Structure 1
Amino acid sequence: MKYDVIVIGAGAAGLQCAAVAGARNKSVLVIDHAKRPGKKILISGGGRCNFTNYYIEPDKYICKNPHFCKSALSQYTQWDFIALVEKYKIAYHEKTLGQLFCDDSAKEIVAMLVSECTNNKVQFQYEANITSLEKESDAHFRISTNKGEFTSASVVVASGGLSMPKLGATPFAYKLAEQFGLEVLPTRAGLVPFTLNPELKEPLAQISGVSMSVSISTPSNAFKEDMLITHRGLSGPAVLQISSYWEPGGDVLIDMFPNGDFQAELDQAIENQPNVQLKTFLSQHFAKRFVETFLQILSMENLLLKQLIHKQREYLVKNVHEWAVKPSGTEGYRTAEVTLGGVNTDQLSSKTMEVKSCPGLYFIGESVDVTGWLGGYNFQWAWSSGYCAGMNAG
């Protein structure tokens, strides 16, 4: 079978690309090894799909070339996708920090994208495993699968990264890129919980479930959101965000009193409540379960406030505002929301996502070295990069 465009991957970027190419009257085939489309969309945002963000900006993306994502994000914006959601009468709401979620279910987003494809005569081939992909001439590519052979003028690779292998993630995009002589930048898990060494993991595991608002930072970035203590380590939005900027072996600094001056609070308490125990004072500001464990970690006694010497006060204040934690690692691709690294963007056109050295071949979405923040940024990259390839392929 011959098509104008074959899209590999029926995820967010692939469905968007196929719908856009189909709307240009191109004959389009989407190939996927799964049984159905949009698996990652369906589980995102707790099943409600954080489909974009009001505040999409290029500086919210990590890429070796920080300018690369600008063109795609300006060609197809968050407002364009919101308009599509509204056209399908999908109810949505803003959660926090501009993050937009479906009121009901992520299934609505998948149904919308599939409708856009079927309305534009896009064809689907599920449970198709690709055995070879070759460029046979300037005019076409040949793809061999367990479901037959297909040829096309253009191939768009939208098969994603390595995150969440249980949903079918594979290194297909990277292997194909290397087959065509492209550089693949080192990959690692992003937007992922931290694991801890036993001396910190064991006491914190006893209080798993405790959540608090923090500011967490590396030398290059800081995020102010919630942190969750788990039986494996640290999670929550603040931790997921900073994980993309953390360098293995380095510390993260956690400010557990991000909206105030803890030194001033302590000084005032010593003056007004000198006979109150340290644990009682700290429990006015933090969860009681956390306070006991935190003092244990700091090796501090539960003294009366008036008994604290200057050095102890300094030590406590420093750790409340700058608790230095050295993660042992992350939970890896198993729970990571995205993959950092990927196909080097220097080899792609930022306007069309086409491979400069191989006309007709495109890479979009998570397979590319563009990784957004938590909060709808990665879906917007899927919509935007998918649109650019869909407008130019075939």
Structure 2
Amino acid sequence: MADHDVIILGAGAAGMMCAAVAGQRGRQVLLADHADAPGKKILISGGGRCNFTNLHTAPDRYLSANPHFAKSALGRYGAQDFIALVERYGIAWHEKTLGQLFCDGSARQIVAMLVEECARGGVTMALGRPVSDIAHGDGLYRVRLGDTEHRAPALVLATGGPSIPKMGATGFAYDVARQFGLAVVQPRPALVPFTLGPDELLFQSLSGVSADVAVRWNKTRFREAALFTHRGLSGPAMLQISSYWQHRTAIQVDFLPDRPADWLLAQKRDRPRTSLRRVLGQALTERLADTLLERIGVQGEVGNLSDRTLRQVAARLSDWPFTPSGTEGYAKAEVTVGGIATAGLSSRTMEATKAPGLYAIGEAVDVTGWLGGYNFQWAWASGWAAGQAV
């Protein structure tokens, strides 16, 4: 005998969205989480203001072994749908940059809205209750929370990935997926700062310096701020490219993305008596210019340097290679690339083809968005899709 229509594991963004949608369709929903309060990762997102979606959401801004998988859910529940929900609750918001939407107030407003949406759907919440066992038989999923067994014909995995373990994040969803015969694409940290090795020690002196750069890895390019840290490279540009980067490969940084190739020759014509250090210090910052010039090994007044030398300096500054020694790992990663393989899921309903009644949504799935609200939009869209189907 089932005591619920659906059990959802994980009271984060995707889980609460799914629970609210299913509950408001008349389903008896149990939403369980090992944490004692819902939406803990939402609360720390966006500096506490929750970058809850992005106006430019499109499938090509997501990484997945199947780049087409996200199209269906994102197409049926888009940024405007979530904005309409936010506005229905009177939550004030603003666009920061590049289509990123934030609460004017606090991320707590988004959590409170989702909790209220769950209440409207009559969702039962079981918080502070870790899962001790999951089994399946006679068409029912049996989930043991502490000493109590709950049964339902549908089970939704919404427990996210292993990023930010201090929030209690684990690879739990992958273990359950494997238990029911689903494949898992090797997970790795994403939207994560890089570390630099001892040969790049020179750049440690720049800790705290930021610059507007273009960063490239293979054919992927981002134009945003980069930040030097005492361990390596961070800032939006670096977090973005980290999702694509592969170990033991270089990233290329353009420190002067707005300058034409021969801009130093123009400086030589216009201000020949000015030192190269001063010219670069005005284009970048003095600390950054000094460090880059120290590595290049060119000094002097621009009028005394050959055109060829100036071209080489400009070329080096526009295509500077860094080979990171690694990343700061899951502890600092905002999300996880990889996860439950989309090949075994329906893109329309998020249901596992091999295990009827089992669904996977949100970050647990091998769909990872860019920085800037894209991962929340995937949580809302995949949660909505499963909530319509369970």
Instruction: Confirm or deny that 1:241 pairs with 2:203.
Output: no
Map 1:214-233 onto structure 2 (within 5 A): 214-233=213-232
Instruction: Name the residue aligned to 1:365.
Output: 362
Instruction: Name the residue aligned to 2:305.
Output: 308
| Deviation for aligned residue 1:178 | 0.7
Secondary structure of 2:225's counterpart equals strand
Instruction: Confirm or deny that 1:323 pairs with 2:324.
Output: no
| Deviation for aligned residue 1:296 | 1.6
Secondary structure of 2:138's counterpart equals coil
| Deviation for aligned residue 1:147 | 4.7
1:194-223 per-position Cα deviation (integer Å, ceiling 9, x unaligned): 1101221x2222121111111100112000
Instruction: Confirm or deny that 1:196 pairs with 2:196.
Output: yes
Instruction: Confirm or deny that 1:183 pairs with 2:180.
Output: no
Instruction: Name the residue aligned to 2:137.
Output: 136
Instruction: Name the residue aligned to 2:51.
Output: 50
Cα 1:303–1:40 shift into 2, 3 Å: same
| Deviation for aligned residue 1:297 | 2.2
The whole-number CA distance in structure 2 between the counterparts of 1:266 and 1:310 is 9
Secondary structure of 2:282's counterpart equals coil
Query: How many residues are matched?
Result: 389
Q: Is the 8 A contact 1:128 1:147 kept in 2?
A: no
The whole-number CA distance in structure 1 between the counterparts of 2:318 and 2:232 is 20
1:362-385 per-position Cα deviation (integer Å, ceiling 9, x unaligned): 000001000011111100000000
Instruction: Name the residue aligned to 2:378.
Output: 381
| Deviation for aligned residue 1:283 | 1.0
Instruction: Confirm or deny that 1:212 pairs with 2:211.
Output: yes
Instruction: Confirm or deny that 1:257 pairs with 2:256.
Output: yes
The whole-number CA distance in structure 2 between the counterparts of 1:35 and 1:316 is 56
Q: Quick one: which amino acid aligns to residue 251 of structure 1?
A: A
Unaligned runs of 5+ in 2: none
Counting aligned pairs with the same residue, the percent is 50
Instruction: Name the residue aligned to 2:151.
Output: 151
| Deviation for aligned residue 1:314 | 3.0
Secondary structure of 1:3's counterpart equals coil
Secondary structure of 2:153's counterpart equals strand
- TM superposition score normalised by structure 1: 0.97
Secondary structure of 2:290's counterpart equals helix
The whole-number CA distance in structure 2 between the counterparts of 1:64 and 1:341 is 8
The whole-number CA distance in structure 2 between the counterparts of 1:172 and 1:58 is 26
Instruction: Confirm or deny that 1:32 pairs with 2:29.
Output: no
The whole-number CA distance in structure 1 between the counterparts of 2:173 and 2:191 is 20
RMSD: 1.1
Q: Quick one: which amino acid aligns to residue 373 of structure 1?
A: W
Q: Is the 8 A contact 2:265 2:307 kept in 1?
A: no
| Deviation for aligned residue 1:306 | 2.4
| Deviation for aligned residue 1:268 | 1.5
Map 1:18-97 onto structure 2 (within 5 A): 18-97=19-98
| Deviation for aligned residue 1:145 | 2.0
The whole-number CA distance in structure 2 between the counterparts of 1:319 and 1:209 is 23
Unaligned runs of 5+ in 1: none
The whole-number CA distance in structure 1 between the counterparts of 2:239 and 2:367 is 16
The whole-number CA distance in structure 2 between the counterparts of 1:99 and 1:22 is 29
Map 1:105-144 onto structure 2 (within 5 A): 105-138=106-139, 140-144=140-144
Q: Quick one: which amino acid aligns to residue 214 of structure 1?
A: V
Instruction: Name the residue aligned to 2:167.
Output: 167
Q: Is the 8 A contact 1:214 1:226 kept in 2?
A: yes
Q: Which runs of 4+ in 1 moved over 4 A?
A: none
The whole-number CA distance in structure 1 between the counterparts of 2:330 and 2:308 is 43
Q: Quick one: which amino acid aligns to residue 224 of structure 2?
A: E
Map 1:8-27 onto structure 2 (within 5 A): 8-27=9-28
Instruction: Name the residue aligned to 2:290.
Output: 292
